[in-house]
C-alpha cells in the first residue's frame, strides 16, 4: 500500500502556468519559438491584430478584459517600452507576475519610476537579461588568469534594421534606435563587466532607409567613446543595415583578450593564440528565461534577485541616455548625473 501511495505522489501532474501574452506583431514573432517553454501555457493574447496572434489562442482587443476574464496567473509582455509602461499601470489593481523584453523604459526617469512601483507592490517583475544567461561563462573567461583587468574594450553590433512601422523606428515609443535595441544585450554585458563610465562622448545619425520608405526617426548609426576611472576606455559602434551583420565585445588587458560573441566566449593571449573558449546558448536564451520565470511564479524567490537585474537594466538606460545627450550637446556627459537628479543610489 505504501509503495502505491509513493508511486501516485511521484506521478502527480504539475499544472502549467497559465499566462496571458501582451505583444505586438514583432513581439509575437520574436517570442514564438520560446513559447514552448516547459510548464508554460498561453491561454489568452492581446496587443496585436488578431491575424498576427498565435493560432488557437483566444484573442482580446483589450488587455484589461483579458486579465479579468481569463484567470491568467502571469503576463508575458513583448511590446514597446512605452506600451509596457502602460501595461504595468493597467494591472496595478490586480498585481500579476510580469515577464517582459528589454529595454526597461524609454528614459532613466521612467525606469526609476517603474522600479519604484514594482518595489511598492512587492510583485515578481522580470525583464529578460542576456547577461544573466551568459554570466557564468564570461566570468570564467575574465578569471582565466589572475589579475586580468580590461583596459580597452570594443563593442561592435551590426543588424538588419526594422521596418518603418516598428516601434524601434519611433522616437516616442522607445529610448532610441540601433544602440538601444540591437546593441542592448552587448551593452548590458559591458555594464556588468566594467560598470558605468565616468564620461561618454556620443554621435548618432540616420543614414539608411528601405526602398520607397521615409527615413526612420531613430538612429541607424551610433558611436560612443566611454572613459572610465583610471583612464581606461571603451568604444561602442552600432549600425543597422550595414553589412556584414554580427555582434561582438572585446576586452583587452595587458596580457589577455576576452572575446564575447552571441555563440561563444573565448580567451586569447597577447600573441593571438587561443587559450580557451566556452559556448554560449544564445539561441535558447528566451526559452530558458521563460522557464526560469515560470519556476519563479511557482516558487517566489528573494526580492534581491530580480532587483539586481532591474538595477542593471536601469544602469544601461543611464548609459544610453548619456550617449544620446552627448550626441545632442556635442559635449561629454556623465551617466552618474541621472542618478544624482533622481536621488537614486548609484550602482557599485
Tell me the per-residue pLDDT of 89-145, one tens digit each, with 9 for 90 and over.
877 777 899 999 999 999 999 999 999 999 888 889 999 999 999 999 999 999 998
Asked if 268 and 122 sit in the same domain, the reply is no
Residue keyed to cell 519604484: 116
Asked if 184 and 86 sit in the same domain, the reply is no
Tell me the per-residue pLDDT of 273-290, one tens digit each, with 9 for 90 and over.
999 999 998 889 999 999
Angstrom distance (rounded) from CA 76 to CA 126: 10
Asked if 122 and 136 sit in the same domain, the reply is no
Name the average pLDDT for the chain: 91
Domain that holds residue 123: 2-127
pTM comes to 0.93
Tell me the per-residue pLDDT of 23-79, one tens digit each, with 9 for 90 and over.
999 999 999 999 988 899 999 999 999 999 999 999 999 998 999 899 899 999 999
Asked if 151 and 61 sit in the same domain, the reply is no
If pLDDT is split at 50, 70 and 90, which confidence band does 12 have? low
Domain boundary among 86, 101, 127: 127
Asked if 275 and 134 sit in the same domain, the reply is yes
Asked if 257 and 275 sit in the same domain, the reply is yes
Asked, for residue 146, whether it belongs to a domain, the answer is: yes
Amino acid at each position: 500500500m505504501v509503495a502505491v501511495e509513493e508511486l501516485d505522489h511521484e506521478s502527480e501532474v504539475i499544472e502549467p502556468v497559465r499566462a496571458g501574452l501582451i505583444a505586438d506583431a514583432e513581439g509575437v514573432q520574436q517570442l514564438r519559438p520560446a513559447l514552448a517553454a516547459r510548464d508554460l501555457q498561453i491561454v489568452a493574447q492581446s496587443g496585436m491584430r488578431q491575424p498576427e496572434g498565435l493560432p488557437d489562442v483566444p484573442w482580446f482587443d483589450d488587455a484589461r478584459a483579458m486579465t479579468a476574464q481569463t484567470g491568467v496567473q502571469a503576463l508575458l509582455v513583448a511590446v514597446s517600452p512605452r506600451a509596457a509602461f502602460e501595461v504595468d499601470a493597467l494591472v496595478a489593481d490586480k498585481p500579476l507576475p510580469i515577464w517582459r523584453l528589454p529595454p526597461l523604459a524609454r528614459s532613466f526617469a521612467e525606469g526609476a519610476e517603474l522600479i519604484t512601483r514594482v518595489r511598492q507592490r512587492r510583485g515578481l517583475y522580470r525583464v529578460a537579461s542576456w547577461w544573466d544567461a551568459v554570466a557564468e561563462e564570461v566570468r570564467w573567461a575574465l578569471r582565466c588568469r589572475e589579475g586580468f583587468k580590461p583596459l580597452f574594450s570594443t563593442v561592435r553590433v551590426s543588424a538588419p534594421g526594422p521596418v518603418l512601422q516598428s516601434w524601434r523606428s519611433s522616437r516616442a515609443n522607445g529610448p532610441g534606435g540601433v544602440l538601444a535595441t540591437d546593441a542592448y544585450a552587448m551593452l548590458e554585458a559591458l555594464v556588468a563587466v566594467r560598470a558605468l563610465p565616468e564620461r561618454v562622448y556620443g554621435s548618432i545619425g540616420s543614414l539608411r532607409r528601405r526602398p520607397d520608405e521615409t527615413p526612420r526617426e531613430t538612429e541607424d548609426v551610433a558611436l560612443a567613446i566611454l572613459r572610465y576611472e583610471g583612464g581606461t576606455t571603451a568604444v561602442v559602434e552600432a549600425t543597422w543595415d550595414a553589412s556584414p551583420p554580427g555582434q561582438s565585445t572585446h576586452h583587452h588587458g595587458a596580457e589577455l583578450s576576452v572575446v564575447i560573441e552571441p555563440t561563444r566566449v573565448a580567451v586569447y593571449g597577447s600573441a593571438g593564440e587561443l587559450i580557451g573558449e566556452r559556448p554560449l546558448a544564445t539561441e535558447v536564451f528566451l526559452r530558458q528565461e521563460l522557464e526560469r520565470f515560470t519556476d519563479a511564479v511557482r516558487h517566489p524567490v528573494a526580492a534581491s534577485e530580480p532587483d539586481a537585474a532591474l538595477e542593471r537594466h536601469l544602469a544601461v538606460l543611464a548609459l544610453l541616455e548619456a550617449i544620446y545627450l552627448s550626441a545632442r550637446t556635442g559635449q561629454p556627459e556623465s551617466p552618474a548625473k541621472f542618478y544624482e537628479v533622481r536621488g537614486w543610489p548609484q550602482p557599485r
